[in-house]
């Protein structure tokens, strides 16, 4: 790895991001809509460890019953990815703390300010903005409601005592799935489908490409963008195009659009794999989703609610990665048997190097251009 990458500063992190919340969820060998808030079919996060907060709807004496609102991006709470993970954190807080929860799905970017404001005007204690596109809306709304907590996921929060942000080192988890794809491809061609071209998705693409390069210098990465996070049909078309160009493994960072990628791979059948993102998407097409790069947005939402309910709301930015178990690979329940033991051992080796800081995956195209796979990897 080049000196410039190794010397890149590490963001301030909150150690042990999970605490007691979700340690049991990632135990794989290599780390593993409406304003009324009506319930949806979204399942709660699987295998979550219990907390000390008491049973469903029965908060302990030191946990205040609060109101929490969540504003999604255009994908909605049933995108089976990023927004759904956030909503599952809300549901977990409802169960553990008796939190009153509601959500509002944004149909367009112009909805952000009004959606955030509506929750604040209705005396919600904490309001979540799910997605970096809402950072300007949070900066506009938060100063007007100093008694309401605002939390943005993946974006920058204003420097105010009622604001916080959670960010993730997506390039780290993406590096691992790329390394796995490089080891597993039979054609030496793999794919990447992004939602929109932006700095956030560049972290996924850059990390993935570096991982592929590290374990398979002969592999080529096909890249396509849907220009939308809520267009499964476009995702399907891009995946089909990449498979026609010999890609046999395709990683998506595209929200609901990625559901189309998974469907296309499932239709293609044996010999082809998709790689899911944000949520554990392995069950979306059992045996055809090699793994998922899980991003624990649900934990961020839950921990922020818990902090608010206990009077310990943490302001500022929290950045988490593999070390804090904020990102990682899914347990591979349906595909683990397909992966050779030496390949899994290699992923574990790379994960340890990232956690130790001796391997720094690139997060931008510029860093990717300077990236050199570590010797012996």
CATH number at residue 16: 3.40.50.2300
For residue 3, is it within any domain? Answer: no
* Mode of pairing for the β-strands spanning 327-329 and 289-295: antiparallel
Confidence of residue 218 (pLDDT cuts 50, 70, 90): very high
Is residue 313 assigned to a domain? yes
93 and 193, same domain (yes or no): no
Domain match, 332 and 191 both: yes
Domain count across the chain? 2
CA pair distance 313, 306, nearest whole angstrom: 8
Q: Does 122 score more than 50 pLDDT?
A: yes
With 90 as the cut, is the pLDDT of residue 169 above it?
Answer: yes
Joined tokens for residue 152: 């943005």
Rounded Cα distance between 328 and 351, Å, is 9
Which residues lie across from 222 on neighbouring strands? 191
β-pair type (100-105, 273-278): unpaired
Predicted confidence at residue 28, as pLDDT, reads: 32
Residue 377 is assigned to a structural domain of this protein: no
Domain region containing 289: 170-295+328-370
Within this chain, do residues 282 and 310 fall inside the same structural domain, yes or no? no
Rg (alpha carbons) of the chain, rounded to whole number: 20
User: What pLDDT is attached to residue 63?
Assistant: 87
Please check whether residue 88 lies inside any domain of the structure.
yes
In this structure, are 242 and 150 located in the same domain? no
In a domain, residue 180? The reply is yes
Work out the pLDDT band at 298, boundaries 50, 70, 90. very high
Please determine, for residue 168, whether its predicted confidence score (pLDDT) is greater than 50: yes
Three-point CA angle 11, 182, 231, nearest 5°: 75
Residue 333 lies inside a defined structural domain of this protein: yes
pLDDT confidence bin for 73, thresholds 50/70/90:
confident
223 and 345 co-located in one domain: yes
Q: What value does the mean pLDDT take over residues 45-54?
A: 32
pLDDT band per the 50, 70, 90 thresholds, residue 377: low
What share of the chain has pLDDT > 90, as a percent?
79
| In a shared domain, residues 64 and 115 | yes
CA-to-CA dists, residue 219 to 52, 195, 254, 271, 275, angstroms: 48, 23, 22, 16, 17
Burial of residue 115, with CB atoms counted within 10 A of its CB: 0-12 exposed, 13-18 middle, 19 or more buried: buried
Q: Contact 46/288 with Cβ under 8 angstroms?
A: no
CA neighbor of 235 nearest in space, from 43, 80, 129 = 80
In DSSP terms, 253 is beta-bridged to 194
Tokens of 113: 């300010």
CB atoms within 10 A of CB 43: 11
- Both 142 and 59 in a single domain? yes
| Model confidence band, residue 81 (pLDDT cutoffs 50, 70, 90) | confident
Residue 326 has pLDDT above 50, yes or no: yes
**Average pLDDT value for the chain:** 86
Are residue 157 and residue 218 in the same domain, yes or no? no
The confidence score (pLDDT) of residue 40 equals 30
Residues 320 and 336 in one domain: no
Residue 54 clears pLDDT 80, i.e. is over it: no
Co-location of 269 and 333 in the same domain = yes
Are 45 and 98 members of one domain?
A: yes
| pLDDT above 50 for 34 | no
**Strand (E) or helix (H) holding 70:** strand 67-72
Evaluate whether residue 4 is within a structural domain: no
Q: Is the pTM of this model over 0.85?
A: no
Here the tokens at position 184 are 């597993």
Return the ∠ at Cα 19 (arms to 100 and 363), rounded to 5°.
95
**How far is CA 301 from its chain centroid?**
12
Tell me, yes or no, whether 364 and 302 share the same domain: no
3-state secondary structure at position 217: coil
> Mean per-residue pLDDT for 50-67?
60
């Amino acid at each position: 790895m080049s000196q410039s990458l190794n010397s890149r500063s590490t963001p301030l992190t909150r150690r042990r991001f999970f605490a007691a919340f979700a340690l049991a969820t990632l135990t794989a060998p290599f780390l593993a809509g409406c304003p009324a808030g009506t319930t949806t079919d979204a399942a709660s996060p699987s295998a979550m460890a219990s907390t000390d907060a008491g049973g469903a709807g029965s908060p302990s004496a030191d946990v205040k019953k609060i109101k929490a609102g969540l504003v999604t991006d255009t994908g909605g709470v049933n995108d089976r990815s990023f927004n759904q993970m956030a909503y599952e954190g809300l549901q977990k807080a409802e169960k553990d703390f008796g939190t009153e929860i509601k959500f509002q799905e944004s149909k367009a970017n112009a909805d952000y300010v009004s959606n955030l404001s509506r929750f604040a005007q209705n005396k919600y204690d904490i309001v979540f903005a799910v997605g970096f596109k809402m950072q300007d809306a949070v900066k506009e709304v938060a100063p007007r409601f100093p008694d309401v907590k605002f939390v943005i996921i993946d974006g920058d929060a204003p420097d105010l005592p009622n604001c916080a942000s959670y960010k993730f080192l997506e390039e780290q988890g993406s590096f691992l799935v790329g390394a796995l794809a490089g080891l597993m491809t039979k054609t030496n061609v793999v794919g990447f489908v992004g939602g929109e071209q932006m700095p956030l998705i560049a972290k996924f693409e850059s990390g993935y490409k570096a991982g592929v390069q590290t374990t398979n210098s002969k592999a080529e990465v096909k890249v396509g963008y849907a220009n939308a996070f809520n267009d499964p049909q476009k995702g399907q078309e891009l995946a089909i195009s990449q498979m026609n160009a010999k890609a046999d493994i395709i990683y998506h960072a595209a929200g609901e659009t990625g559901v189309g990628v998974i469907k296309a791979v499932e239709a293609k059948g044996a010999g082809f794999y998709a790689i899911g993102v944000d949520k554990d998407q392995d069950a979306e097409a059992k045996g055809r989703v090699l793994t998922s790069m899980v991003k624990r947005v649900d934990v961020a939402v839950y921990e922020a609610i818990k902090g608010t309910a206990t009077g310990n709301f943490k302001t500022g930015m929290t950045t988490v990665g593999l070390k804090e178990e904020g990102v990682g690979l899914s347990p591979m329940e349906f595909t683990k048997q397909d992966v050779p033991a030496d390949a899994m051992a290699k992923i574990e080796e790379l994960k340890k190097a990232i956690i130790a800081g001796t391997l720094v995956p690139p997060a931008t195209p510029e860093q990717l251009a300077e990236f050199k796979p570590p010797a012996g990897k």
